[in-house]
Structure 1
């Protein structure tokens, strides 16, 4: 079984974390979440690493949560369900508060929790054909663990539309929503990432970290928030609507609330 997270060192104090479930469009399951969090904790204590690039293996960045994992977690006892939801909430908090500068490199697109990862990164650059959506509500799930980071990024007004509707939107729209910073042709993506890396490396390393820390002092990294969102997610994925929505998706059918036209 291959490692769900690949870690690669590059030159000039730069490393890359690669979500490595390409056959599952890099969806988040228990093993990936644990390995991702482990790498983030290690990076937090390594002052020689200045920049981490986060990407996805294969054609997609991240397709959100693995629905088979979500279904399995919902069928465990309440404590295990909560603990696994907490691991996901903690992953977003660890990424959001990481002292190292983070750059997300997006190909294909990002769904749900994948957008949550982008909203926790400092810089996001995407290939222009990438697509995005918050599809959780169509599955009877609440996007609780990503909610704080998404609201901070796109604001309440835009969240009301795009999180409630679950509609797919383009790379250009994602840029207008502040989810990504730049959209480039896929053949120019590596160059755009390298260009951004060089800009960041030209900043004084300690000052760069201190500036990020200063920004974070005004954000929402409280432990209580992580616990609250984990509790909401655990309850949500055990609900009848979530069970119906996830089962319908896995069976390639429609849940009861989607009426035939």
Structure 2
């Protein structure tokens, strides 16, 4: 069974993460399928825009529990390779040569926040909640960090990377992760309105406009691969460290990690 659901309508390709039973959490299958679907959408001349969303109650809860168990037991090299696959996914989304909209239907944590940050436009439901909670596991949001920092700025990133706090949709909009927050029942209307605006523009001009905005911000696809490699090395090192092993083990065992004082 596929981990994504792809639908086409009037030049719009919607790609939905379709693992609602685990709140659309990431595993290696999902990462592979989503990366391939984005590459295909980028190459298809019939696709004018891509909408990324989730099925069920969540957008994406980040790492899948079983996937995390694998991370905890894997070697540093295996963790690095695993992180590089996630990095390739988010990089593909960031530099996709089509307008992208994150239709944030519910909660997004960790890598889910990274996907939102890599989209051109992000519209979220009022009830959605967000978090970059990796530090609570003795880890950091290394792979997604370039995209999150570009979206919310280094000042907000420093706060959220360090505290791991959960925040609501209004705060996500205030800091720049979301462009717009609407009631859940108005989400499709808001996305549809944005798609109408996108449909009035020339596709070649949009492609160049996206490249222009990224270039003016100093974000270059040619340098992204090297940055991803550095960040994958960082997260691999932390996952196999004593603190990372304790944090992952505590999470999987549903106990407090040893660094929390009573």
TM-score between the two structures when normalised by the length of structure 2: 0.94
Q: How many residues align?
A: 258
Map of 1:116 onto structure 2: 114
Q: Is 1:206 matched with 2:208?
A: no
Tell me how large the CA RMSD over aligned residues is. 1.3
Distance in 1 between residues matched to 2:86 and 2:37, nearest whole Å: 14
Deviates more, 1:206-215 or 1:50-59: 206-215
Deviates more, 1:29-38 or 1:73-82: 73-82
State the Cα distance separating 1:5 from its structure 2 match.
1.4
State the Cα distance separating 1:68 from its structure 2 match.
2.8
State the Cα distance separating 1:73 from its structure 2 match.
3.0
Map of 2:219 onto structure 1: 219
Map of 1:4 onto structure 2: 3
Deviations 1:98-153 (A, max 9, x none): 00111011122211111111110001000111111110000111110011111111
State the Cα distance separating 1:251 from its structure 2 match.
2.1
SS of structure 2 residue aligned to 1:98? coil
State the Cα distance separating 1:47 from its structure 2 match.
2.1
Deviates more, 1:210-219 or 1:150-159: 210-219
State the Cα distance separating 1:220 from its structure 2 match.
4.0
Map of 2:99 onto structure 1: 101
Map of 1:39 onto structure 2: 37
Paired residues of 2:4 and 2:15 also in contact (CA < 8 A): yes
State the Cα distance separating 1:216 from its structure 2 match.
2.8
Map of 1:246 onto structure 2: 248
Map of 1:166 onto structure 2: 164
State the Cα distance separating 1:59 from its structure 2 match.
0.1
Map of 2:148 onto structure 1: 150
Choose from 43, 47, 50 the match for 2:48: 50
Distance in 2 between residues matched to 1:95 and 1:15, nearest whole Å: 14
Task: Specify every segment of 5 or more residues in structure 1 that has no aligned partner in the other structure, as ranges.
Answer: none
